[in-house]
A and B are shown apart, each in its own frame.
Chain A
Amino acid sequence: DAGVTQSPTHLIKTRGQHVTLRCSPISGHKSVSWYQQVLGQGPQFIFQYYEKEERGRGNFPDRFSARQFPNYSSELNVNALLLGDSALYLCASSWDPVTASGYTFGSGTRLTVV
């Protein structure tokens, strides 16, 4: 079975640009969460979607948005990129939205903003 897949794996963008990151969950998983991991810190929660509805949003500006599609894949969009948005963006999927040990992470997208 394929795990959580994220694309692209690496990305370089210029300040002010927009970026779209994609995530395909494990088959059967209906919950997708997005995290930002800055070097030297743990993953910080950005969004959670379950059954295509937003279930949670972390302390991130409105430049960050996300959505979940009917096939449960998800996109994270970031507008007006700042240097501080450079990070590893992790997607995690799970069968249910509330079992803390139940989610599986993808390998992440490394975003560099220059």
Chain B
Amino acid sequence: DQQVKQNSPSLSVQEGRISILNCDYTNSMFDYFLWYKKYPAEGPTFLISISSIKDKNEDGRFTVFLNKSAKHLSLHIVPSQPGDSAVYFCAATAGEKTSYDKVIFGPGTSLSVIP
């Protein structure tokens, strides 16, 4: 049973528009969430995180929104650029400081930004 779900395997967006990547989780113990970006032939790189004490966290063009009651988070990229084309993984854990076996990854969403 997947505890972290990314129901859209792929997404295509025009350059300059907004990209919205969604993530749902089932475990109510999760209170810290991370997004990773992965280019082909490279390992995932940490992008942005959010704690459950917040409902929004911004870092430049990237904003993550958290809706605890719906157990849903989303990553917004504005404006989207061709270099953002990658697979995006959502991950969740109980606490920012936790052992790595407790970090659960979603299956990923492949984003294509079309010039």
Q: Indicate whether A and B interact.
A: yes
Binding site for B on A (CB under 8 A): 4, 31, 33, 40-45, 48, 55-58, 90, 92, 97-101, 103-108
Contact status A100-B98, CB under 8 Å: yes
Binding site for A on B (CB under 8 A): 4, 9, 32, 34, 41-46, 49, 89, 91, 93, 96-101, 103-108
Contacts A42-B108, A56-B99: A100 and B44 contacting too (C-beta < 8 A)?
no
Contacts A48-B100, A100-B32, A100-B34: A42 and B105 contacting too (C-beta < 8 A)?
yes
Which A residues are CB-close (under 8 A) to B101? 45, 48, 56-58
Q: Give how many A-B residue pairs fall within 8 Å (CB-CB).
A: 72
Task: For the complex, give the distance between the alpha carbons of A108 and B89 in Å.
Answer: 16
Contact status B100-A97, CB under 8 Å: yes
Contact status B43-A100, CB under 8 Å: no
Specify which of B32, B42, B107 is in contact with A42 (CB 8 Å cutoff).
B107
Which A residues are CB-close (under 8 A) to B45? 104-105
Task: For the complex, give the distance between the alpha carbons of A24 and B91 in Å.
Answer: 24
